[in-house]
Every structure is written in C-alpha cells, then in structure tokens.
Structure 1
Amino acid sequence: MLRAILQFFVTAAGLWLAAQVVPGVAFTATSSLLWAAFLLGIVNALVRPILVFLTFPLTVVTLGLFLLVVNAATIGLVAVLLGGFVVDGLWAGIGAAIITGVVSWAAGAFIGDGKRRE
C-alpha cells in the first residue's frame, strides 16, 4: 500500500515537471494534477498492457521506440478523460511520457523495487 502511494506521488511529480518543461502540457489546478496522476496509474494498470500487446510487432520493428507512442497515448487518454489536464498533440504527449518515465526511473533507482538483496 505504501509503495502505491509513493508511486502516486512520483507520477504526480513527473507530470508536474512535464508541465513545467514541455510546451503543450498544462494543468489548471493542483487538484487536476493529483487526479491526473491517479488516473494515469489506473490507465497504466488496465489499458496500457492491452496497447502494448496489440502494438507488439510495431514495437519490435522500432526496437522499442514505439513504446513512447503508447505511453503518450495513455497520457493523452488521461487528458481526454480529465478536464483540467491538457496535452496539446502527439509531440507534447511524447515529451510528457519521456519526462514522467525518467522521473519514475530515477525514483525507482533511489527507492528500490522492494525486494531484499542478499
């Protein structure tokens, strides 16, 4: 449970940084940011695996780069579902996907995966 809450805040931090850095990504309020992080977690758990499965051949051909488009699509879906979150186009979504991915990766490097190493 603690890990899920921590992941929620890491996702929120990644989305906030993406809104600061990437033109075309914006929030109208802090509550929109928090709702976007929550919805992105749900979309990543439910929709993203289906998209990854359906686009697997294209992902293999592009050596994994198409996963950026899949991640941008999930962020775009959250923007469509949530009124206070704006992603203006594919390139803004890809930029937001890169920023949130890097923030999640960096946080995971510091936090760890929860498994004990012996």
Structure 2
Amino acid sequence: MKNFLVKTIANAGALAVAVWLLDKITLTGDSTGKKIWTLILVALVFGLVNFLVKPIVKMLALPLVILTLGLFTLVVNALMLLLTSWLSDKLDLSFHVEGFWTAVVGGLIISIVSWALHVVLPDED
C-alpha cells in the first residue's frame, strides 16, 4: 500500500512540474486545495493508464521501439499522457493537454521528474 501511495505522489509531483513548465498543459481550479485534489485524481488516472494500457501499446510498438533504438518510447509516453487528458475530460477533471508535441515534451518531463522522485522517495511495501 505504501508503494502505491509513493508512486501516486511521485506521479502527482511530476504532473505538477509539467503543468508548471508547459503552458499548453493546464490544470484549472478555484482554489489551491481543489487543484491539489484534481492533481491527485489525475495522477491516479495516469497511473491506471500506465498500468493497464502502456504495456499493451509497448508490446505492439516493439518493432518501432527497436527500429528507433528506443526513441519511439517518447511517442508511447505522449500517447499515454493524451489518453490521460481524454479520460480526465470524461471524468470531469480539469486537466488538459493541448497537442501532440506538447504531450511529447510533457511525457519527457514527467518521466524525468518521476524517476527523480522515485529515487528520493522510499518505495518499500
């Protein structure tokens, strides 16, 4: 349970950094508390997308990943971020990613920040 909580906090932090750095990734809300709550819910959606959908997409895209020496993984990460944005819209969460290239840069930022937070935060169960 602690590992799930740490991963959710790391995802929320990484998403917050992406929202802060990129103008076309938006998180709207009336107050700071509502924004934090929305960010945690979006982090849960993002974690669910990465857990359920990403392995299937990576397996199907394996030839392209091999052909591009792993660079196609950036496209897969962007697609997961766009799917999270779409699901957030369907769940009436105020998180939106505008455009594919914004999603590519956002996915790169989220990957780097998430990795750094996983190094810093404890991860034992």
Q: TM-score normalised to the size of structure 2?
A: 0.85
**Does the CA-based 8 Å contact 1:32-1:82 persist in structure 2?**
no
Q: What is the Cα deviation at residue 51 of structure 1?
A: 0.3
The equivalent residue for 2:12 is: 12
User: C-alpha distance in 2, partners of 1:85/1:59?
Assistant: 29
Q: What is the Cα deviation at residue 110 of structure 1?
A: 2.3
Q: What is the Cα deviation at residue 23 of structure 1?
A: 2.6
Q: Which amino acid aligns with 1:108?
A: H
The equivalent residue for 2:64 is: 58
Which of residues 73, 79, 85 is equivalent to 2:85? 79
Deviations 1:76-95 (Å, cap 9, x if unpaired)? 00101112111011111111
Q: TM-score normalised to the size of structure 1?
A: 0.90
Q: What is the Cα deviation at residue 97 of structure 1?
A: 0.7
User: C-alpha distance in 2, partners of 1:46/1:25?
Assistant: 23
The equivalent residue for 1:104 is: 114
Spell out structure 1 runs of 4+ moving beyond 3 A.
111-115
In the alignment of these two chains, the number of paired residues is 115
**Does the CA-based 8 Å contact 2:42-2:95 persist in structure 1?**
yes
Q: Which amino acid aligns with 2:13?
A: A
List gaps (5 residues or longer) in structure 2.
Answer: 30-34
Q: What is the Cα deviation at residue 15 of structure 1?
A: 0.4
User: C-alpha distance in 2, partners of 1:76/1:26?
Assistant: 12
The equivalent residue for 2:47 is: 41
User: C-alpha distance in 2, partners of 1:32/1:70?
Assistant: 24
CA RMSD of aligned residues (A): 1.6
Identical aligned residues as a percent:
34
The equivalent residue for 2:32 is: none
**Does the CA-based 8 Å contact 1:72-1:90 persist in structure 2?**
yes
